[in-house]
Structure 1
Amino acid sequence: MSAHLRKRSLILSGHDTSVALEPEFWQVLEDMARAHNQPLPVLVAQLDTERRPIQSLASFLRVQALLWLQKQSTPQTPASSV
């Protein structure tokens, strides 16, 4: 993973904020947004509503990106037909 961070400015709950993440995490978040057919700022705002106040936004986004990747790599069990 690269050592440099990319900072992006977003508006969350009506407040300007900036988040610095490694480019690889931004790429996964962009993939997540694309998979949900929504712009990246909308996805981040939605995820932010699930974050505990004591957890940093950057840390939370990294964990969400990791969880999403894990879910993508887990084989989905087809629904059984009855």
Structure 2
Amino acid sequence: MRNTSPLPSLVQKHSVLIDGARTSISLESAFWRALKRLAAERSMSLGELVSEIGPAAGRGNLSSAIRVHLLNYYQQKADQIARDRRP
């Protein structure tokens, strides 16, 4: 029997330039790819997108804020697709 479980997504540190300062973000590769995809979709640099997400972190963890932002974004997108498919 073939193992079809997804490969583990290891947390990796990534460096992003935000307002001229390097910031380190620890994200799983799947979240990093989604962040890059969203930045490209919105014609923004990674730094611009992270800077936009950052204030949502408040005093919390920026990496967690990015994960929540991406989850919310793609959930809204999935909800819209489901609404569009309704008769």
Structure 2 contact 9–30 (Cα < 8 Å) conserved:
no
* Pairing 1:30–2:24 present: no
Higher gyration radius (CA): 2
Where 1:68 maps in the other structure, the secondary structure is helix
- Name the residue aligned to 1:62: 67
TM-score with structure 1 setting the length? 0.76
Q: List, as ranges, runs of 4+ consecutive aligned residues in structure 1 with deviation greater than 6 Å.
A: none
TM-score with structure 2 setting the length? 0.73
- Name the residue aligned to 1:43: 49
| Cα distance in 2 between the residues matched to 1:42 and 1:13 | 8
Structure 1 vs Structure 2 CA RMSD:
2.1
Aligned length in residues: 77
- Greater share of residues in helix: 2
Which ranges in structure 1 are unaligned for 5 or more consecutive residues? none
With CA pairs under 8 Å and 6+ residues apart, which has the higher RCO, 1 or 2?
Answer: 1
